[in-house]
Structure 1
Amino acid sequence: MIRNRLENKKILITGASSGIGERLAWHIANNDGIPIMLARSMDKLKQQQQLLKQKSRTESFIYQVDLQNGGELDAVINNILLDHKRIHGLINNAGVGKFDFVKDITWQDVDQMYQLNVFAVIQITKRMLGHFSHYQEGHIVNIASQAAKIATPKSAVYASTKHAILGFTNALRQELTDEKISVTGVNLGPVRTNFFVQADPEGTYQKSVERYMLDPDRVAKTIVRHLFTTKREINLPYWMELGGKIYQLFPSFVERALKSQFNKK
């Protein structure tokens, strides 16, 4: 069933050189889709492309880009649209975080999070919308975070970027109700990737949530299973999504009850 939906479908993946993005490429390839991988590290992309060719014999494409550079991103999207007659899907996976109190965080970190987590997502989505609309087919997947639903101390800026993406995703879905373009939001708890190298360099938060961390392969497999469907949201882990719903109803109670857990960063 998944193979039927993905066969020969070309899907853009940002942040494809490691973590969830890397596993997305593998699962797309294993289901006869064609991953188009974007990242800053050309060496990692080439290595991934070679491994995909050896193990799955699937065609794939790679493009080097710094998503924080709007001009560079525009140029790469232009090249992709020239190189490929048809693109079928877009997964906005790339993201960065830095856990720190608002009074202590540097403006460089704030700027980086907004450039990569928000502006690049909106820019690439806007560029691809005309293409999807022309062919009356497309699927946009935006990877947000459970932090978009429950913000905690030291994640004020990071959570605000994910709030922005969740709002953007929900509004975009409504704008496209008359077109054959699906829009899916993905809200994740902590995932075992190199995201925490920058977000939590001392490893304090990682240690406190180690037993709850999601496996990036499982996350990618779940996302790929819902490609080219009308799935509205993917929320992992499920118990954290339940906690988010309770938080919406009783925010003060949850903040008091989970104060020690929320302050483990």
Structure 2
Amino acid sequence: MGYTLITGGSSGIGFELARTFLKHDHRVIIVASRQDKLTEAQEKLQNEFGREVLIYQQDLAKLGAAAELYRRLKSANLSIEILINNAGIGKIGATEKIDFQDDEKMMILNIINLVELCKLFLAEMYQNKKGKILNVSSMGAFQPGPYTSTYFASKSFVLSYSKAIHYEAKNKGVQISTLCPGTTNTNFFNRDGMETPPFSMSAERVAEYTYSKFFQGKEVIIPGVLNKVIRFLPEKLKSFFVARIKDY
């Protein structure tokens, strides 16, 4: 059995996905930008499951980082069976007040390096006629995001890109799925000094639901009944509620 590679695996949904995959006897590699957080996550996971968890420090908010990570994995002769592109960042605030460099990092992490990792591993998976990729998008992919404009737009890209390569891959033995979680109880909001909205799902519930649907071959995974309903609300109404999130 090859490895499941999870980017952004040291916290939040990524960490809970690592827990869930380990629970189901997968071999797991987690990637994150901070070595201290990686080591802490590795210790927690190994203590809980009594199994080795590999860690790779790589800042995927930098250009060229995806290719460097791929090279390091190949040098270690590690076979990746499942790729989970979970790493991502978002900023909340008026568009003109968010620093351009923050937006640039967001686009590199959320879009460019996700695409590069998909391309690098897809070529292998097509050759082997097997493999799975899970790209983490957001409910924000289905609408514009006032006061979180670049983040929502980046997640719309992830959904569109993933659906396109899902179509290309469907007859080649490779599965491409997209996870679109709603607000989740992670440190996403805390980074901007905000409180997590009260209707948020736990990262653990999101991960468990995702695992089940992913292995059923679901193309677009939306955890939570409320999120499924919200998806089909009028765009203006959704934009109104999204704009209110900045007030939490």
TM exceeds 0.5?
yes
- Per-residue Cα deviation, 1:91-139 (whole angstroms, up to 9, x for no partner): 1111101012222222112111101111111111111111111211111
Q: Distance in 2 between matches of 1:127 and 1:183?
A: 14
Q: Distance in 1 between matches of 2:242 and 2:41?
A: 37
Instruction: Report the Cα offset of residue 38 of structure 1.
Output: 0.5
Q: Distance in 2 between matches of 1:226 and 1:260?
A: 28
Equivalenced residue count is 246
Q: Distance in 2 between matches of 1:14 and 1:260?
A: 30
Instruction: Report the Cα offset of residue 183 of structure 1.
Output: 0.8
Rg comparison, structure with higher value? 1
Instruction: Report the Cα offset of residue 197 of structure 1.
Output: 2.7
Which amino acid in 2 is paired with 1:243?
A: I
**1:86–1:220 CA distance, 2 compared to 1 (3 A):** same
Aligned counterpart for 2:89 among listed residues 87, 96, 102: 96
3-state secondary structure, aligned to 1:68: coil
Which amino acid in 1 is paired with 2:59?
A: D
Instruction: Report the Cα offset of residue 261 of structure 1.
Output: 6.3
Q: Distance in 1 between matches of 2:93 and 2:243?
A: 13
Q: Distance in 1 between matches of 2:63 and 2:54?
A: 21
Q: Distance in 1 between matches of 2:120 and 2:168?
A: 16
Aligned counterpart for 2:240 among listed residues 234, 247, 259: 259
Instruction: Report the Cα offset of residue 228 of structure 1.
Output: 4.1
Q: Counterpart in 2 of 1:240?
A: 227
1:2-21 pair list within 5 angstroms: 8-21=1-14
CA contact (8 A) 1:32 1:58 kept: no
1:158-237 pair list within 5 angstroms: 158-198=151-191, 200-201=192-193, 203=194, 206=195, 209-210=197-198, 212-237=199-224
Q: TM-score if structure 2 supplies the norm length? A: 0.91
- Per-residue Cα deviation, 1:21-78 (whole angstroms, up to 9, x for no partner): 1111111111110111111122222232233333212232111101022333312211
Residue 67 (str. 1) matches residue 48 (str. 2): no
Aligned counterpart for 2:75 among listed residues 64, 82, 87: 82
Q: Counterpart in 2 of 1:155?
A: 148
Which amino acid in 2 is paired with 1:263?
A: R
3-state secondary structure, aligned to 2:97: coil
Q: Distance in 1 between matches of 2:188 and 2:70?
A: 25
Q: Distance in 1 between matches of 2:241 and 2:118?
A: 38
3-state secondary structure, aligned to 1:142: strand
**Where does structure 1 lack aligned partners over 5 or more consecutive residues?**
1-7
Identity of aligned residues (%): 27
Instruction: Report the Cα offset of residue 188 of structure 1.
Output: 1.1
Q: Distance in 2 between matches of 1:94 and 1:260?
A: 25
Superposed structure 1 runs of 4+ greater than 6 Å apart: none
Q: Distance in 2 between matches of 1:246 and 1:54?
A: 44
Instruction: Report the Cα offset of residue 176 of structure 1.
Output: 0.9
Q: Counterpart in 1 of 2:17?
A: 24
CA contact (8 A) 1:182 1:228 kept: no
**1:216–1:165 CA distance, 2 compared to 1 (3 A):** same
Q: Distance in 2 between matches of 1:9 and 1:93?
A: 19
